Amino acid sequence: MPTVELRFSPLPAHVRTARLLAAVVARRAGVDESLIDEVKLAVGEACARAVGIHQAYAPGDEIVVELNDDGGAFVACVRDRGPSDADTAVEATGAAVADLPDLLDVDVLADPGESGDPGAAMPPGFGLAVIAGLVDDVEVTPADPGTVVRMTWAPSAR
């Protein structure tokens, strides 16, 4: 059972709320202060990714963030309800971190259209790859429908 769960409609403004909440719960769970930025960034990335997917595939559904601070570790799970392969190909093929510089070769990136979304310059799976680069313990699991991004941080020794 998650200790704190946040559900929100797919709007960018709520991503900040989710970030803030993740930071507060992580602090309380004993995650070291030096890791709080990482928690905010990773949870924010996972939520931003989910917002993008929901805006395309499930605009009426809420995104679910579960924050668990009752065990030895702090666990954040972000669940979307889009197609489960919306952008996970990069991750699934094991490309992730190692190939990021390639993915990002500025010359091969799509030209950002005037009206496209602001992240459009980045390849699909980029958000997930950033998370994988940041957080040691990440699991991306297809759900039915959607994807669960599960990130774990050990509590600081105290």
The encoded tokens of residue 147 equal 């994807």
Evaluate whether 149 touches 140 at the Cβ level (below 8 Å): yes
114 binds, among another protein, ligand ADP, a second copy, none (CB under 5 to 8 A by kind): another protein
For the CB of residue 59, give the shortest distance to a second copy in the complex, in Å. 11
What is d(CA 140, CA 102) in angstroms, rounded to the nearest whole number?
22
Could you tell me the smallest distance in angstroms from the CB atom of residue 12 to ligand ADP? 9
Helix (H) or strand (E) holding 92: helix 89-92
| Rounded-to-integer distance, Cα 32 and Cα 17, Å | 21
Tally Cβ neighbours within 10 Å of residue 153: 22
Applying CB under 8 A, among 12, 24, 32, 85 the residue interacting with a second copy is 24
Strand partners, 142: 147
Instruction: Choose between 71 and 119: whose C-beta lies nearer to another protein.
Output: 119
Query: Is 23 one of the binding residues for another protein (CB under 8 A)?
Result: no
**84: closest CA among 58, 110, 119?**
58
Binding marks (x or -) toward another protein, 100..139, rule CB under 8 A? xxx-xxx--x-xx-x---xxxxx---xx-xx--xx-----
- Binding-site ranges for another protein (CB under 8 A): 12-13, 15-16, 19, 37, 40-41, 44-45, 47-48, 51-52, 97, 100-102, 104-106, 109, 111-112, 114, 118-122, 126-127, 129-130, 133-134
